[in-house]
Amino acid sequence: MMKVAYIMSRFPKITETFILYEILAVEEQGVQVSIYPLLKPHLTGVHPEGASLLKKILERMSRPKGEILMHPEAVPLVERAHYAPFFSIKILAAQFYYLLRRPAAYLGTIWRLLRENWGSPNFLLGSLAVFPKTVHFARLMQAEGIQHVHAHFANHPAAAAYVVHRLTGIPYSFTAHGADLQVDQHMLCEKIARASAVVTISSYNKAFIAEKCGQGYADKVRVIHCGVDTRVFTPRNERPRPSECPAGAGLSILSVGTLYEVKGHTYLIEACRLLREQGLDFACHLVGDGPFRETLVEQVSKAGLEEQVCFHGQLTRQEIVRMLQAADVLAVPSIPTREGRREGIPVVLMEAMASGVPVVASRISGIPELVEDGVSGLLIEPRQPEALAAALSSLHQDTQRWQRLSAGGRERVVSGFDLTHNSDLLIQIFRNGRGT
């Protein structure tokens, strides 16, 4: 049985279900996975927006705000995950272990981290902060007989995999998603050069890498979309009845995602205001939590939409499955932020489409690779609440269009975004470096 180590910033994280279910799918196909999170889970449902490890460390030092919400499937994985503090006697011993046995690799890796990340306080401080525990992880992986390391996200987790490789020679790969790739490219080309293979979730990202690092690096990149379990997310037999919150709504709009600026919720709320002006009977359900919640609640209050817009907080996958079964449409009005953050391809779009729920999403980043306008969903330009309102209204009024997009969305996910199939492609990369 092949042994693969997964590195991520934090595990479990309710908003990164794609990592959890990818691990489960990989194990289902006969690969043994060991989990090495850079940070322990924290007792809070609200994580800072952005890819800054420093922000995550500061958030971790904050006062807990409740119980960790995790998917039931994550519980056994948490029990066997390799968590480590920032400093311990074992971590100190690992530094001496490699300093004595591989001094050139140990000191050379520190020098590379300093040189490649100079000019980026986030990456420089973050990589140095987790370096000691990553060295400890490297020793554990060698003892465990790990044959390949895979990191999720091109920033700190990929840097950790890079460190493990430099110290041990274990080959590594990483998956680049969205903001982790697009906001800051310090050390990106070095990580790609050393990796046995690089995975990205969209052709848009692959072109971005070619622009930043050159076509020679892009040739190493494989596009493997995130996937969803099409056995779990299945269409219902008929269009759902009106939702209970608020009672009697004619159109049930669902939006699932962390309440960050990049998700564009403020434009969905404005679209809801326009729909009410048009006299449309609807309910909008916002699932998720985050730093923008208070701002969005205030926007809803000022618009007088308390009877139409409901905040549900974070939910597990099974709860989201039930929400999708009752929804008429999923809205994902993503926007590019001033800091350069962009969505990759939101997994919730795949979940909705697999469930036969028509989607309305922004024409941005890799989203058009999933949603073909008028065939498997509707695309609008970002920051256009009028266009969003019109798209939502059209799905309420045109039953044939709703049915056509429902069927087209399901077909698109089954053909190109199925979790089991895409996990098999990933395993090929683990086994063969670049796959076939």
Buried/exposed code over 78-90 (b: 16+ C-beta within 10 A; e: otherwise)? beebbebeeeeee
Residues of the chain with pLDDT under 70: 42-69, 237-249, 433-436
What residue has token string 């999708």?
324
Same domain membership, residue 196 and residue 308: no
Same domain membership, residue 218 and residue 255: no
**What is the structure's pLDDT at 180?**
86
**What is the structure's pLDDT at 216?**
84
Q: Residue 237 domain-assigned? A: no
Range of the domain at 207: 2-227+418-432
In this prediction the pTM is 0.88
With H, G, I as helix, E, B as strand and everything else as coil, classify residue 368: helix
Same domain membership, residue 111 and residue 68: yes
Q: Residue 117 domain-assigned? A: yes
Same domain membership, residue 263 and residue 219: no
**What is the structure's pLDDT at 392?**
97
User: Counting Cβ atoms within 10 Å, is residue 223 exposed (0-12), middle (13-18) or buried (19+)?
Assistant: middle
**What is the structure's pLDDT at 434?**
40
- How many CB atoms are located within 10 Å of the residue 176 CB? 27
Same domain membership, residue 263 and residue 204: no
Same domain membership, residue 425 and residue 393: no
Nearest to 390 by CA among 358, 363, 360: 360
Query: Could you check whether the bond before residue 240 is cis, i.e. omega within 30 degrees of 0?
Result: no
Same domain membership, residue 257 and residue 361: yes
**What is the structure's pLDDT at 51?**
47
Query: 141 and 133 in contact (C-beta within 8 Å)?
Result: no
Q: Residue 83 domain-assigned? A: yes
